[in-house]
Amino acid sequence: MSAFIAALLVAAALPDYHPVGRVSGTIRLSGNDQMALLLQRWERGFRRFHPEVRFESWLKGTASGIYGLEMRTADLALMGRAMNPFEYYGTYERSWVFPVQVEVATGSFATPDKSPAYAVFVHRDNPVRKLTLQQLDGIFGAQRGGGWNGLSWDQSAARGPEQNIRTWGQLGATGAWADKTVHVYGPPLEGAGAISYFQSRVMHGADLWNEDLREYADPARMIADLSNDPYGIAYSSLDSAAAGVKALPLAEAAAGPYVRLTRETVADRSYPLSPPVYAVFNIDNEKSELAGVDPKLREFLRYVLSKQGQAEVAREGNYLPLTPAAAAEQMKKLDSTATPPELRVIQQASAIKVRMSIDEDPIVVRLAENLGYFEQEGIELERVGVEKITGEDYLIQEPLAKGQIDAAYCWFNHAIYGARHGFPVQAVMLFNEAPGMKVLVADRMKGRIASAADFAGRKVAAGAGYGMKSVLTRYLARKAGGGAYATVMMEKAGRQEAVVKGLKEGAVDVMTFQEPITSALLATGLATTLYDLNSGESTARALGARFPAQALLMSPEAIAKHPEVAQRLVNALVRAMRFVNSHSAEEIAARLPADYFAGKDRPAEVELIRALLPTYARGDYSISPEEARLAVEVNLSAAFDESDEGRWRGSGDASRVRPAELYTNRFVTQAMNAIALSRGK
């Protein structure tokens, strides 16, 4: 029996299409250009039943499909893969309703670029004859706290390192093969926030891979290398097969059955790695209200899922028809009386209460509240003062590690101190890429102090010895090769007046302050700027890299257990940061709640916002390895004072501090991907 006849027989088992009613109008489509011929067949077939329907297509690739839905330039997006979690959020941001994803065909048997099934290849001499998906997970995956199941983070997908498979003996190979390391080959990894079909089926939606995975952009090159590596394993489409390798039968579980990759086993979906292709549509209207399924879309998709529609899939020759069971399951999503599963996710999810410690009163948090970003992410923010838990406002690490608070808006250096004391915390987002300070030199000393190397023996006012003004001033002096200097303390009350008095009387030579004091001192003409640490660019010139200052900290355990909380927090705060980055001080002040200015001089506060705008991070709000290393170097080399806070910061085990473990950019990357997709950037 020919492959075409076999595919037609699959389609023939489906119910006939019977129109529910007459529909008219234009259906606009965007997305996967590889489905263009199939779409043309569907259009012709559907118009036999509904001649008053017209079609407009803009097929530029799968990613463009979601963009069309986001911008309301398309009614239906054709997708060669499932939606990534972040791709749901563009529609959700405008209406709190997620788009609906419907399988419309099975991917191809082995046609490149047409969602082919995945074969798992090993060297032809390899004694292993079959594998389960769990074994593939052990080979390609790694320890994880869970995985993405569509939009939901599934903690039941968590597994430990004991399930890693790193030798062929763990797969039943004996003799000389038993202790040989499994060499893992694969295509390039998806970008952050993207989950491939292989990850979904094999790794339960996780994004943590075997640390030794070798990535190949060229499948032919990958299989050629595998054919020369007896201990290798790779996954790719069957069209990559070559002499020297063999494709293994796969099973869902150890009990079997173990199924070979053939056109028939992909068509009936008995082969475990047979991806579908999709159509996606919105269920909100132009007013961003829940509206249900558009009648003409419902009729078109009912046709696509019918005997006639799936027969066109068979005739196209590459994609394969849905099985009757799969088509029936997808048809349920078109029932206007049923709540789509994507919407049920939101309806069932109550607001998440997030307990956050907040340093001072940052405008970013206030904007996220006042502009509705927290509410739109389903977050109910509860401010918690850690001093009520620990007795001191600087001891935030233990409450984070013990789950007494969920997050902290504070300086990144707290992650360093936490690591030293065995309370690991991570930054999931950066707010300020500069410490917001300036190192000033008394005007009378300009000719004698040209750099921090000249601080030796001078009178320096840089605040308390446990604070970052002091730490950074001493770091600049050490970096420049300068010697010790005399510390001058200014009265806390009337500090600005005391500094001005000290400048006039020659009691201070160098001073490090933040706004608004720096601007006031410079306005007197008694001091000039030596080092500007008030913007990312100027800080990088002074220190060698931007300096991670204020950040959002969470415990790694909380992140692993509840990544959806971290993602929603970051989503809201990224939007607030983008507002800060794109508005003036006056515009920002206008969107802050009235109580923010209670008891304050509003014009002075607006000027303070203006002065601090350069400190805010731009771009994607991530932390780079260079920035993390700089922060660690600055803090671990610091000589803190003998205050309780100074002793805390300077004690503990410095060997526990590993810069790469102090932050994760996973959530800001996903948030920025969603925004870029929704804005077409």
**pLDDT at site 330:** 95
pLDDT mean over 608-621: 93
Structure tokens at 317: 């020759």
Q: Please say whether the beta carbons of 8 and 316 come within 8 A.
A: no
Helices (H), ranges, 108-262: 133-140, 197-202, 219-226
CA-based angle 591:595:598, to the nearest 5?
A: 120
Question: Beta-carbon neighbour count of residue 298 at 10 Å?
Answer: 19
**pLDDT at site 606:** 95
Per-residue pLDDT tens for 172-183?
A: 999 999 999 999
Helices (H), ranges, 387-511: 387-390, 397-401, 413-420, 468-479, 495-505
Residue 290 has pLDDT above 50, yes or no: yes
**pLDDT at site 90:** 67
Q: Please say whether the beta carbons of 314 and 7 come within 8 A.
A: yes
- E strands along 80-225, which residues? 100-106, 118-123, 131-132, 147-149, 152-154, 183-186, 214-215
Which of the listed ranges 152-156, 304-308, 511-515 does the model predict with the highest average pLDDT? 304-308
Higher per-residue pLDDT: 629 or 563: 629
pLDDT mean over 87-113: 83
**pLDDT at site 99:** 85
Of 275, 316, 391, residue with least CA distance to 34: 316
Taken as a whole, the chain contains a residue count of 681
**pLDDT at site 464:** 83
Distance CA 194, CA 679 (A): 18
Query: pLDDT-derived band of residue 5, with 50, 70 and 90 as boundaries?
Result: low
Per-residue pLDDT tens for 123-135?
A: 999 999 999 999 9
Residue 97 has pLDDT above 80, yes or no: no
**pLDDT at site 345:** 42
| 3-state class (DSSP) for residue 486 | strand
pTM confidence score: 0.60
pLDDT mean over 360-384: 89
| 3-state class (DSSP) for residue 172 | coil
Structure tokens at 225: 């290398």
**pLDDT at site 187:** 93
Chain mean position to CA 154: 16
Sheet holding 183-186, edge to edge: 214-215, 183-186, 232-237, 118-123, 245-247
Per-residue pLDDT tens for 382-427?
A: 999 888 888 887 788 899 989 999 999 999 999 999 999 999 999 9
Tell me whether strands 100-106 and 276-281 are parallel, antiparallel or unpaired: antiparallel
Burial, 154: exposed, middle or buried (Cβ in 10 Å; 0-12, 13-18, 19+)? middle
Helix or strand (DSSP H, E) at 647: helix 644-650
Identify the weakest region by mean pLDDT among 297-306, 389-398, 452-461, 529-538: 389-398
Of 466, 657, 667, 640, residue with least CA distance to 551: 667
Identify the weakest region by mean pLDDT among 344-353, 376-385, 452-461, 576-585: 344-353
Exposed e or buried b per residue across 564-588, where buried means at least 16 C-beta atoms within 10 angstroms of its C-beta? bbbbbbbbbbbbbbebbeeeebeeb
Helix or strand (DSSP H, E) at 82: none
**pLDDT at site 192:** 59
**pLDDT at site 492:** 58
**pLDDT at site 7:** 62
Helices (H), ranges, 33-159: 36-49, 62-70, 89-95, 133-140
**pLDDT at site 488:** 86
Of 137, 143, 203, residue with least CA distance to 170: 137
Residue 3 has pLDDT above 70, yes or no: no
Q: Please say whether the beta carbons of 114 and 320 come within 8 A.
A: no
Beta bridge partners of 294: none
**pLDDT at site 347:** 40
What is the DSSP code string of 387-403? HHHHSSTT--HHHHHTT
Q: Please say whether the beta carbons of 55 and 259 come within 8 A.
A: no
Beta bridge partners of 29: 57, 76
Give the dihedral of Cα atoms 358, 361, 362, 365; nearest 10 deg. 70
Is the four-CA dihedral 268, 273, 279, 280 of positive or negative sign?
Answer: positive
**pLDDT at site 284:** 72
Per-residue pLDDT tens for 432-453?
A: 999 999 999 999 998 899 999 9
Residue 483 has pLDDT above 90, yes or no: no
Residue 277 has phi, psi (to 5 degrees) of -120, 160
Q: Please say whether the beta carbons of 293 and 342 come within 8 A.
A: no
Residue 344 has pLDDT above 60, yes or no: no
- Axis crossing angle, helix 413-420 with helix 625-636, rounded to the nearest 10: 60
**pLDDT at site 360:** 79
CA-based angle 624:626:628, to the nearest 5?
A: 70
Distance CA 524, CA 521 (A): 5
Structure tokens at 564: 């959806």
Is the four-CA dihedral 108, 111, 115, 116 of positive or negative sign?
Answer: positive
Query: pLDDT-derived band of residue 246, with 50, 70 and 90 as boundaries?
Result: very high
Residues 6+ apart with CB under 8 A from 379: 351, 352, 354, 568, 569, 572
Of 550, 515, 514, 516, residue with least CA distance to 357: 550
Per-residue pLDDT tens for 228-241?
A: 999 999 999 999 99
| 3-state class (DSSP) for residue 581 | helix
Query: pLDDT-derived band of residue 465, with 50, 70 and 90 as boundaries?
Result: confident
pLDDT mean over 499-518: 89
Distance CA 51, CA 550 (A): 60
Beta bridge partners of 237: 118
Percent of the chain surpassing pLDDT 70 = 92
Distance CA 277, CA 316 (A): 14
> What mean pLDDT is reported for the chain?
89
Half-sphere exposure of 433 (CA within 13 A, CB side): 25
Residue 158 has phi, psi (to 5 degrees) of -65, 150
Of 87, 84, 98, 76, residue with least CA distance to 30: 76
Residue ranges and CATH numbers for the domains of the chain are 3-108+274-346 (3.40.190.10), 118-260 (3.40.190.10), 352-434+548-679 (3.40.190.10), 437-533 (3.40.190.10)
Residue 30 has phi, psi (to 5 degrees) of -135, 170
| Rama region for 630: left / alpha / beta (φ>0; ψ in -120 to 50; rest) | alpha
**pLDDT at site 94:** 63
Helix or strand (DSSP H, E) at 53: strand 53-58
pLDDT mean over 532-541: 95
